[in-house]
Structure 1
């Protein structure tokens, strides 16, 4: 049977996933990509891993390839929110308690602008890539997950 392409999002792995390597046998709850959905959302994959839904129906297979997906973004910085964050990170002696602030960054994926990096294994944690304090917009890349070639040994999604 030909390999199927599966997208494993970074947050799915970081939350509830277990790292794996090329050659490992895995059993994942997969969701088929809806043909009407944007194909670039899943980087050409036929299915994606969903660790937060029905976990009873799993697809078992052997991992034959792993590619980390590096998506390009344009990041816009809200200068006022960034200034509040800077003040919170450098509190004066009279400050009390924890301060919760929204991110000063708005990340906008550049459609079709991504690169695939061959890997021997999938990490548990992905780089958090912060764009920095300077005024934006900035262009940056971050690893958003892994595109896996899976050789199914049981029924697919």
Structure 2
């Protein structure tokens, strides 16, 4: 058994998700998003597997089949398939409901935290994360809808948004 941290974005849940609770068995397509925290490290063969949409490459390790958001071995036009040998990647494991198709990972939800982030208006008017303001709030059930609210500070307006949930997912090896 392996315990993996998986992020389920609020917009993905609100659009197409089904709420779940600690102790539930779930099956999701997972995507590895590089450079995001909390990071998981995967090492395994990268290649195409049965059930994967053409062009999507996956890494398989310890009961996981995870799509890569970037090709680990870019190929030039007309080149043959990349070597399916082991690759090492780290990033955030994220539930993906809007990409192509690849095999789902099935596991049991062992822990659940709502991810809350403060946002401030950037120079271009968009809301940007405020460093050091991300918090986790433990819960036993994932909501279908996530909340946000605006508030004032000495430096201007901010938003505090529930961004999604961080799941402790136990996956059989």
Equivalent residue number for residue 53 of structure 1? 99
Deviation at 1:76, TM superposition (A): 6.3
Deviation at 1:73, TM superposition (A): 1.1
Question: C-alpha separation between the residues in 1 aligned to 2:98 and 2:135?
Answer: 27
Query: Computing the radius of gyration over CA atoms, which structure comes out larger, 1 or 2?
Result: 1
Aligned mate of 2:142, from 95, 112, 122: 122
Secondary structure of the structure 2 residue equivalent to 1:144: strand
Aligned mate of 2:161, from 142, 146, 149: 142
Question: C-alpha separation between the residues in 1 aligned to 2:145 and 2:7?
Answer: 16
Deviates more, 1:136-145 or 1:107-116: 136-145
Matched positions, count: 121
Deviations, residues 23-79 of structure 1 (Å, cap 9, x unaligned): 000000001233xx2x24xx446410000113441000000000000001113699x
Equivalent residue number for residue 13 of structure 1? 13
Unaligned runs of 5+ in 1: 79-104
Secondary structure of the structure 1 residue equivalent to 2:113: strand
Structure with the largest fraction of strand:
2
TM-score, structure 1 length as denominator?
0.67
> How has the CA–CA distance of structure 1 residues 30 and 140 changed in structure 2, closer, same or farther, with 3 Å as cutoff?
same
Equivalent residue number for residue 108 of structure 1? 128
Equivalent residue number for residue 116 of structure 2? 70
Task: Answer whether contact 1:76 1:138 (CA < 8 A) is retained.
Answer: no
Deviation at 1:123, TM superposition (A): 0.5
Deviating runs (4+, > 3 A) in structure 1?
Answer: 43-46, 75-78
Question: C-alpha separation between the residues in 2 aligned to 1:25 and 1:18?
Answer: 12
Task: Answer whether contact 1:22 1:65 (CA < 8 A) is retained.
Answer: yes
CA RMSD between the two structures: 2.6
Task: Answer whether contact 1:29 1:54 (CA < 8 A) is retained.
Answer: no
